[in-house]
Structures are given as structure tokens and as C-alpha cells.
């Protein structure tokens, strides 16, 4: 099957579990296998598993997604030539890091309300209060964050990208997506961007959900097959 790897947001604390997930069910209903991974850093598996992701942005947390993708190929679940990676928030970051680190593994990437410059995250006041800044100091990598910030090495990305963001997002400010889009264009990477003036950290209005899912499914169908959306 064509496969979409769907990393969750957070990354620390949230987890994927059995139950209804709109993103997953929309994609599954259009013919895609969807792979959700509780990579290190995820909640629900004890403190050791969660803290194993600290200071591993773009490193071992990313490797967990890569290993899971290769597992799906080895198990015969996924067609190795028809794999995309799509996530929101941290999942958006992981999707762009995925295609930068593994240029031959994925055929496309979708980043929704993502953060793409970790140095900016550590410094910008718009990301929240003192608690938020202390949290990022504790959990985000030390040293030079350029090598784990996908907007800093967009030239390594060789596959088409779809980006989406909201202008009212205070968690992952829209500037992250704008910078990522500009970096991809400068590197000659095919990129589409969808901005919502009245959305924040996610898509909540029905008309905007319809527009996003139509663009998502059209993008996936173009690059890895599956069924295109029926626009009513």
C-alpha cells in the first residue's frame, strides 16, 4: 500500500493510541496505510521512555520514525516507492527533518503548524511564558541547533513539500512556515503552502478543514498514489 507516516505532536507527553483520529481516518479512507509511532519522548510508557527523547530533536527521536518506516517496508505493509511523511506541530518538524535526513526514504512531506528553526524557538518570546522557555531549555538539544533545524539545510530536501499554518498561531508562529517555504524555494524544492488567516495552532473551522484535506489528499495522490478527494 502507499504509506503515510504520521508522527504526533508534543513531542513530550502526547502519545498515539487506538481510537478515532480525523487525520488518520481521512487518509485511510482514501487508500493509504497510516503508521503512527510512539517514538521516544512520547507519553504513556513511563518516565524513562519520555525522557529518552530529551535533547534528541532530529536525532534518536527521528531515528525511531525512520526505523518504523523501514519496518513497515520489511513487513510488506508499505510500498517502498510510495511513502510520505505528514505531521502537525512537532510532527510537522519531524516530517521536514525526515525528508532532510532520509532523502531516499520518503517521496513527499507535509508539515502543518510546524516549527522549523529550533534556535528561534529557544529565543522567541512569542512561544510563551518562563515555564515554556525553561521547558525548551531542558528538552531541546544543546549547542548548535542549525544541523537539526530543517529550514537551515533545505537544500538536502529533494522531494515535494506541502506546508500549512495559521496566522493566529502563538505556539508555532507562522513565521516558521514562511521561513521554511522561502528556504525550500531558494533551494529549488517544489513546495506548496496553505495559510489560514483566522486559524491558530491547528485547523478548527469546517470550511478550512475541507480546504486543507482536499489539498492534502490531492498532494498525496499526485506523489504516492491513492484516491483523490471528491470535491462536492
Exactly one of 89, 95, 149, 164 is catalytic; name it: 89
Helix boundaries (H) for 75-173: 90-101, 118-123, 130-139
Could you confirm whether 30 is annotated as catalytic? no
Active-site position among 30, 169, 176, 223:
169
Cα separation of the two ends of the chain: 27
113-127 as b/e: b if 16+ CB within 10 A:
bbbbbbebbeeeeeb
Our answer to whether residue 201 is catalytic in this structure is: yes
Which of 6, 30, 176, 201 is labelled catalytic?
A: 201
Known active-site residue 6:
no
Within 8 A by CB and 6+ apart from 189, the residues are 154, 157, 158, 159, 160, 161
Which amino acids are annotated catalytic?
Answer: 89, 169, 201
Amino acid at each position: 500500500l502507499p504509506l503515510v507516516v504520521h508522527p504526533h505532536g508534543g513531542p513530550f507527553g502526547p502519545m498515539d493510541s487506538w481510537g478515532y483520529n480525523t487525520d488518520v481516518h481521512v487518509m485511510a479512507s482514501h487508500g493509504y496505510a497510516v503508521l503512527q509511532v510512539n517514538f521516544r519522548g512520547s507519553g504513556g510508557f513511563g518516565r524513562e521512555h519520555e525522557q529518552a527523547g530529551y535533547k534528541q530533536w532530529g536525532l534518536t527521536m527521528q531515528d525511531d520514525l525512520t526505523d518504523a518506516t523501514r519496518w513497515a517496508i520489511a513487513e510488506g505493509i508499505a510500498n517502498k516507492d510510495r511513502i510520505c511523511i505528514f505531521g502537525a506541530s512537532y510532527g510537522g518538524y519531524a516530517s521536514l527533518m525526515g525528508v532532510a535526513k532520509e532523502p531516499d526514504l520518503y517521496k513527499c512531506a507535509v508539515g502543518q503548524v510546524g516549527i522549523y528553526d529550533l534556535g528561534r524557538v529557544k529565543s522567541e518570546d512569542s512561544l510563551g511564558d518562563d515555564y515554556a522557555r525553561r521547558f525548551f531549555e531542558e528538552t531541546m538539544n544543546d549547542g548548535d541547533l542549525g544541523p537539526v533545524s530543517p529550514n537551515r539545510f533545505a537544500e538536502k530536501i529533494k522531494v515535494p513539500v506541502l506546508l500549512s499554518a495559521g496566522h493566529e498561531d502563538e505556539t508555532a508562529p507562522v513565521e516558521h512556515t514562511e521561513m521554511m517555504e522561502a528556504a525550500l524555494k531558494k533551494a529549488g524544492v517544489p513546495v506548496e503552502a496553505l495559510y489560514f488567516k483566522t486559524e491558530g495552532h491547528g485547523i478548527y473551522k469546517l470550511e478550512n478543514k475541507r480546504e486543507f484535506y482536499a489539498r492534502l489528499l490531492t498532494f498525496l495522490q499526485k506523489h504516492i498514489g491513492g484516491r483523490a478527494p471528491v470535491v462536492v
